[in-house]
């Protein structure tokens, strides 16, 4: 019996992806556990391993590299010993309509059926193609719900109102779509409030400079400091390290901190796990590796899931304060601004100090303003005395190596 | 709305009809004869052939009733498409 090969769900909310290419050729003998093809999903590109053994059969009509595919799409077969051809029912048709294949794929199956239901007039289809409008997303106003030319042009006009300077292809990548969905979902389910405060980072800068002279290139970046210090502050303010799940607030013991990384493909938020158990240098090593992989687009899904708090640093772009959007389902996200030299009054003297603005967005359903303010207070105190804070923690928990 | 009154049915000036459909995206064929297997069906078939991509709505035909045409003028008027029926059919097609 030939075993169908279908597009797997790489992340919990993956619906579609881009087929990057086969790693094996038609006719190759495959052992279970061997990488079979590469699939790009919402946030990561992964090699998909084969669950069974057999001879790989890639039929005509299976996706080409770069084709968009839906979870559950049938892309090929594994033939058992002695089997020469794919089953008779595996005609071209089965590539359009996935048959009952292993794994629960009801979502994509129902979507397929919906797709065939969308009616569009030939003229509207042509117009949509010329204007680059994705008509599958439109709602037709024809008598039978058919999409008419005017629906297409209206959709285009609506899009133009949103962005009059729109140029080029408006095709949305899976990454972009998932970012959009996450952001919208976060804003529509949480009650975000942003608090901003300014911390004196002079000591932090000096501390880092000292490390610099000791460690040279491998010294931790500012974000690494903030990750570590935020973890310390979170430990004493567990409210901000919770999530709202099924009408319950779950306080999490572990502190996994995500870092927002700007990549060519869009925003990624790899997660540094168990920050309290790591030394500052370990945090720096992990974040360096994760950011590097994020830029290369080789992050694994599981490296981006499970965060309990997120830090986003726009300081490098000269931003002071902003209102970050909570990385749902976390409770809070900390925005770091640029560190700038400013006149500050200390003991009636105006002195130049390094100032950094912190923007904390938290979910008011989970925490109150005072909770968040207290967390920020703690964090500011830690930032202002980083050496003491880090020494205290690293002495309490001896660093690994 | 454009009205095309073909001079001849053979040869049929499909090009003119197709140009009009390219503008409006719609085609309503009106004839006094009955619908089945008639001239209107031929026009529709040729237009589909040449201008499928220009259509934004189904081609509609408005024909005489499928019955021998009565001799009496009032009865004849009831069998062939009237001005009211044509305008109504146009409105329907535009909303289609």
Indicate if the pLDDT at residue A121 is higher than 70.
Answer: yes
**Highest-scoring range by mean pLDDT, A37-46, A172-181, A258-267, A362-371:** A362-371
Does the pLDDT at position A97 exceed 50? no
d(CA A17, CA A6): 12
d(CA A271, CA A137): 33
Give the pair of three-digit tokens for residue A162.
């949103």
pLDDT band at A96; cut points 50, 70, 90: very low
Lowest mean pLDDT among A46-50, A89-93, A270-274: A89-93
For chain A, helix, strand, coil in percent to 5 are: 35, 25, 40
Element containing residue A354 per DSSP (H, E):
strand A349-363
Q: What pLDDT is stored for residue A106 in this prediction?
A: 38
Q: Is A61 on the interface with B (CB under 8 A)?
A: no
Out of A26-30, A184-188, A274-278, B63-67, which region has the weakest mean confidence (pLDDT)?
Answer: A26-30
Task: Tell me the pLDDT tens digit for each residue of B31-62.
Answer: 998 888 989 999 999 999 888 888 889 999 99
Give 3-state DSSP helix, strand, coil % of chain B, rounded to 5: 50, 15, 35
Give the residue ranges of DSSP H helices in A237-335: 280-296
ipTM score here?
0.77
The pLDDT of residue A401 is 39
CB atoms within 10 A of CB A222: 18
CA gap A69, A205 in Å, rounded: 48
Which residues in chain A touch residue B89, judged by CB atoms under 8 angstroms apart? Answer: none
Of A122, A146, A148, the CB nearest to B53: A122
Q: Distance (Å, rounded) from C-alpha B46 to C-alpha B42? A: 6
Strands (DSSP E) along A213-315, which ranges? Answer: 242-245, 248-251, 257-259, 261-263, 266-268, 271-272, 309-313
Confidence of residue A161 (pLDDT cuts 50, 70, 90): low
From B53, B95, B96, residue closest to A123, measured CB to CB: B53
pLDDT, position A177: 77
For residue A389, what are the contacts with CB-CB under 8 A and spacing of at least 6? A229, A232, A382
More confident: A223 or A62: A223
Tell me what the mean pLDDT of segment A34-52 comes to: 80
Q: Kindly indicate the confidence band of residue A168, based on its pLDDT and cuts at 50, 70 and 90.
A: low
Residue A217 has pLDDT above 70, yes or no: no
* Residue A75: predicted pLDDT: 85
Please tell me whether residue A324 adopts helix, strand or coil conformation: coil
pTM strictly above 0.90: no
Enumerate residues 68 to 127 of chain A having a beta carbon within 8 A of any beta carbon in chain B: 121-126
* Residues of A forming the active site: 364, 368
Q: Which of B52, B53, B96 lies closest to A142 in CB terms?
A: B96
Cross-chain Cβ contact B53/A142 below 8 Å:
no
CB-based burial label for A362 (10 Å; 0-12, 13-18, 19+)? buried
Task: Identify the band that residue A169 occupies on the pLDDT scale cut at 50, 70 and 90.
Answer: low
Q: CB count, 10 Å around CB of A330?
A: 26
| Number of A–B residue contacts, CB under 8 Å | 26
Residue from A122, A144, A151 to probe the interface with B (highest B Cβ count within 10 Å): A122
pLDDT range class, residue A162, cuts 50, 70, 90: low
Query: If you average pLDDT over each of A2-11, A75-84, B46-55, which comes out highest?
Result: B46-55
Q: Is the pLDDT reported for residue A117 higher than 90?
A: no
| pLDDT tens digits along A342-365 | 898 888 889 899 999 999 999 998
pLDDT at residue A167 tops 60: no
Please give the angle made by the CA atoms of B81, B83 and B86, to the nearest 5 degrees.
65
* Contact with chain B for residue A140, Cβ under 8 A: no
Q: Where are the extended beta strands (E) located within A184-241?
A: 192-200
- Quote the pLDDT of residue A216: 64
CA-based nearest distance A158→chain B, Å: 21
């Amino acid at each position: 019996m030939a075993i169908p090969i279908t597009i797997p769900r790489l992340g919990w909310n993956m619906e579609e992806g881009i087929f990057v290419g086969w790693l094996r050729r038609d006719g190759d003998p495959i052992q279970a556990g061997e990488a079979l093809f590469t699939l790009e999903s919402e946030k990561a590109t992964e090699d998909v391993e084969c669950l069974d053994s057999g001879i790989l059969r890639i039929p005509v009509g299976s996706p080409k590299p770069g084709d968009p595919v839906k979870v559950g799409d049938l892309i090929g077969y594994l033939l058992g010993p002695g089997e020469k051809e794919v089953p008779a029912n595996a005609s071209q048709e089965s590539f359009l309509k996935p048959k009952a294949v292993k794994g629960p794929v009801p979502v994509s199956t129902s979507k397929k059926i919906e797709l065939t239901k969308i009616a569009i007039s030939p003229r509207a289809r042509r117009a949509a193609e010329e204007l680059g409008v994705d008509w599958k997303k439109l709602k037709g106003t024809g008598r039978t719900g058919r999409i008419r030319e005017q629906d297409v042009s209206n959709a285009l006009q609506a899009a133009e109102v949103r962005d009059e300077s729109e140029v080029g292809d408006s095709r949305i990548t899976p990454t972009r779509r998932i970012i959009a969905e996450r952001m919208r979902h976060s804003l529509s389910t949480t009650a975000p409030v942003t608090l901003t405060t300014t911390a004196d980072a002079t000591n932090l800068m000096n501390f880092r400079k000292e490390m610099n002279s000791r460690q040279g290139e491998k010294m931790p970046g500012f974000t690494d400091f903030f990750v570590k210090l935020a973890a310390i502050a979170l430990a004493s303010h567990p409210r901000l390290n919770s999530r709202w799940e099924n009408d319950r607030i779950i306080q999490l013991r572990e502190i996994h901190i995500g870092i927002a990384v700007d990549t060519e493909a869009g925003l990624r938020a790899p997660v540094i796990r168990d920050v309290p158990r790591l030394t500052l240098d370990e945090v720096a090593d992990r974040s360096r590796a994760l950011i590097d992989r994020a830029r290369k687009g080789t992050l694994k899904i599981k490296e981006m899931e499970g965060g309990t708090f997120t830090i986003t640093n726009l300081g490098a772009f000269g931003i002071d304060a902003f209102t970050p959007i909570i990385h749902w389902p976390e409770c809070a996200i900390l925005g770091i601004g640029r560190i700038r030299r400013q006149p500050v009054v200390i003991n009636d003297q105006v002195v130049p100090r390094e100032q950094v603005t912190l923007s904390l967005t938290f979910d008011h359903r989970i925490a109150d303003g005072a909770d968040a303010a207290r967390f920020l207070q703690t964090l500011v105190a830690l930032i202002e005395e980083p050496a003491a804070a880090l020494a205290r923690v690293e002495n309490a928990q001896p660093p690994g190596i | 709305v454009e009205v095309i009154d073909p001079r001849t049915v053979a040869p049929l000036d499909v090009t003119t009809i197709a140009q009009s459909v390219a503008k409006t995206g719609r085609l309503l064929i009106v004839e006094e004869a009955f619908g089945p297997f008639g001239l209107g069906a031929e026009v529709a078939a040729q237009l589909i052939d040449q201008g499928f991509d220009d259509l934004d709505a189904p081609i509609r035909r408005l024909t005489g009733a499928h019955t021998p045409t009565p001799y009496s003028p009032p009865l004849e008027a009831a069998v062939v498409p009237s001005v009211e029926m044509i305008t109504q059919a146009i409105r329907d097609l535009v909303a289609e």
